[in-house]
């Protein structure tokens, strides 16, 4: 965080000072975990479902925190007052602090010699984190860039990301998630974007929106309405609900996609045997200004073409050249864990770990990528868990995924957990039979089953919502199979308890 006095933090957050001098300088990282405290930083004592950050404030100060943002005055074990900025609501205060700091950075960026800071917000039901990662790598090659770690995209993660920026930051890339109406409005009030990217309106978190897909569209459109007055909306031309958001944009609209009318689009898309896409990146509408460049993605899955186009459109809008964008996309890697992470194990098994999140759209894309990578000469295995927060349509959505697995000729589908049982039912109804589908009670049962089942040449996809826990299985399958500590390497022979056939 930029250097602020305790008094300035109190002013920004509506807080009062306890046990700390007005002139105390806070200039280190802003963190919510006392283990991450850096000398001179700010510890944010958030109340949690299982633990309360206030209980760790003394440890944070002992580790070097210059101040604590808290809901009440705090004392150490010896009864002395801890340096605290006391606020009515810690989470709200965190957002208020980020808003104030960003306003200061924007003012400094406009001064002679300033960084020319540009804030880019990314939202959508599918692909936010991958697009954010691509965009961060593109911008990072062009100037100092701050972007979220993992998927820091909510009312806590976004302000923490903003507070990592300083006077040198040229690009601030923000992932903005929404699980209900009003969420993006809250986030854009903290960090109004110069560029707002909307990827797709899908069925992710449908249960939190209180209605159908149109409610999701209205919620996603909040990022467009939250743009700065001269901000640019970057919209998916292939999604009618996203294109319709152009009417809400305060200024310029740029479109991307594979539709003929998109300003940034892909032509001549082809996918190699490893599942990686190549295409021609075309910018313009056929006028003399039209330009094009070749792109060869290193990411696995044809669906990443869409994410790459979104990142390209946003980067071009933010000031990068076409050559910078094409070169950057061709060299970009998957940065966030459990996001189409491909590991070729020493025993000849290929694991595609995409277990961080799942919804019907991303599940379909991952299954198609699995089928491409496996081809006709390798066995494909889909290990699938529950897709959470789908509301009343959950069973139908899971059933459809099971049917798709059969249509794609997936060799073995392992369904993990009772919440995902409808995937097995859908596969059975579509015509799967015998040992083509198995149901595992939990992650441990699935790991033990796969330890006996996997053989050289297999391609394994692991996919579920984060809350379903299959990321643990992803870690097990991508670990060294010779490691004795690995449950997948030490499981016994025979079909383990907790796994049943179709």
Q: Mark the binding-site residues for ATP, compressed into ranges.
A: 124-130
Beta bridge partners of residue 234, listed in sequence order? 197, 254
Hey, is 102 helix, strand or coil? helix
Instruction: Classify 341 as helix, strand or coil.
Output: strand
Closest Cα to residue 462, out of 448, 484, 443, 436? 443
**Angstrom distances, CA of residue 61 to CA of 12, 34, 74:** 21, 9, 11
- Cα gap 332→299, rounded to integer Å: 8
Binding-site entries: 124-130
Could you say which DSSP state residue 52 is in? Answer: B
HEC-encoded secondary structure of 296-334 = EEEEECCCHHHHHHHHHHHHHHCCCCHHHHHHHHHHCCC
Distances in Å between the Cα of 293 and the Cα atoms of 259, 266, 283 are 18, 10, 9
**76-98 burial code (b ≥16 CB/10 A, e <16):** eeeeeebbbbbbeebbebbbbbb
Contact 32/46 with Cβ under 8 angstroms?
yes
Structure tokens at 238: 């292939």
**What H or E segment, with its residue span, contains residue 146?**
strand 145-146
What is the C-alpha to C-alpha distance for residues 474 and 477, in angstroms, rounded to an integer? 5
Cβ pair 300, 373 in contact under 8 A: yes
Distance from C-alpha of 482 to C-alpha of 485, rounded to nearest angstrom: 9
């Amino acid at each position: 965080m930029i250097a602020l006095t305790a008094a300035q933090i109190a002013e920004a957050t509506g807080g009062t000072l306890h046990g700390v001098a007005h002139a105390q300088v806070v200039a280190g990282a802003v963190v919510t975990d006392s283990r991450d405290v850096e000398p001179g930083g700010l510890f944010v004592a958030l109340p949690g479902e299982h633990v309360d950050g206030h209980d760790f404030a003394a440890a944070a100060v002992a580790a070097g925190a210059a101040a604590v943002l808290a809901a009440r005055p705090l004392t150490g074990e010896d009864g002395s007052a801890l340096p605290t900025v006391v606020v009515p609501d810690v989470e709200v205060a965190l957002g208020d602090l980020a808003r104030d700091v960003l306003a200061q950075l924007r003012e400094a960026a406009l001064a002679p010699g300033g960084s020319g800071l540009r804030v880019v917000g990314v939202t959508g039901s599918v692909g936010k984190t991958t697009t954010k990662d691509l965009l961060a790598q593109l911008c990072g090659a062009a100037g100092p860039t701050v972007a979220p770690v993992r998927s820091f995209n909510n009312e806590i993660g976004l302000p923490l990301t903003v507070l990592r920026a300083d006077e040198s930051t040229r690009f601030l890339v923000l992932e903005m998630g929404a699980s209900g109406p009003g969420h993006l409005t809250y986030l854009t009030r903290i960090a109004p974007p110069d560029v707002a990217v909307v990827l797709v309106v899908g069925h992710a978190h449908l249960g939190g929106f209180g209605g159908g897909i149109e409610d999701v569209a209205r919620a996603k459109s909040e990022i467009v309405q939250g743009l700065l007055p001269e901000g640019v909306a970057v919209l998916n031309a292939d999604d009618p609900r996203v294109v319709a958001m152009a009417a809400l944009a305060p200024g310029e609209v740029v479109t991307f996609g594979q539709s003929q009318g998109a300003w940034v689009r892909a032509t001549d898309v082809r996918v190699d045997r490893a599942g990686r896409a190549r295409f021609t990146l075309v910018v313009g509408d056929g006028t003399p200004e039209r330009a094009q460049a070749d792109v060869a993605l290193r990411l696995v899955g044809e669906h990443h073409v869409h994410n790459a186009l979104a990142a390209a459109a946003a980067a071009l809008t933010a000031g990068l050249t076409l050559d910078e964008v094409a070169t950057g996309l061709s060299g970009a890697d998957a940065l966030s864990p459990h996001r189409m992470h491909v590991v070729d194990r020493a025993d000849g098994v290929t694991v595609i770990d995409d277990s961080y999140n799942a919804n019907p759209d991303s599940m379909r894309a991952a299954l198609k990528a699995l089928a491409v990578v496996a081809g006709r000469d390798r066995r494909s295995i889909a290990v699938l868990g529950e897709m959470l927060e789908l509301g009343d349509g959950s069973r139908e959505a899971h059933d459809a995924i099971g049917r798709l697995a059969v249509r794609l000729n997936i060799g073995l589908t392992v369904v993990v957990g009772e919440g995902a049982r409808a995937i097995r039912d859908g596969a059975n109804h579509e015509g799967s039979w015998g040992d083509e589908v198995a149901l595992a009670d939990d992650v441990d049962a699935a790991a033990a089953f796969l330890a006996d089942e996997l053989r050289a040449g297999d391609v394994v996809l692991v996919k579920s919502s984060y809350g379903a826990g299959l990321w643990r299985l992803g870690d097990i399958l991508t670990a060294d199979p010779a490691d004795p500590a690995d449950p997948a390497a030490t499981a016994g022979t025979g079909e383990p308890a907790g796994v049943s056939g179709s």
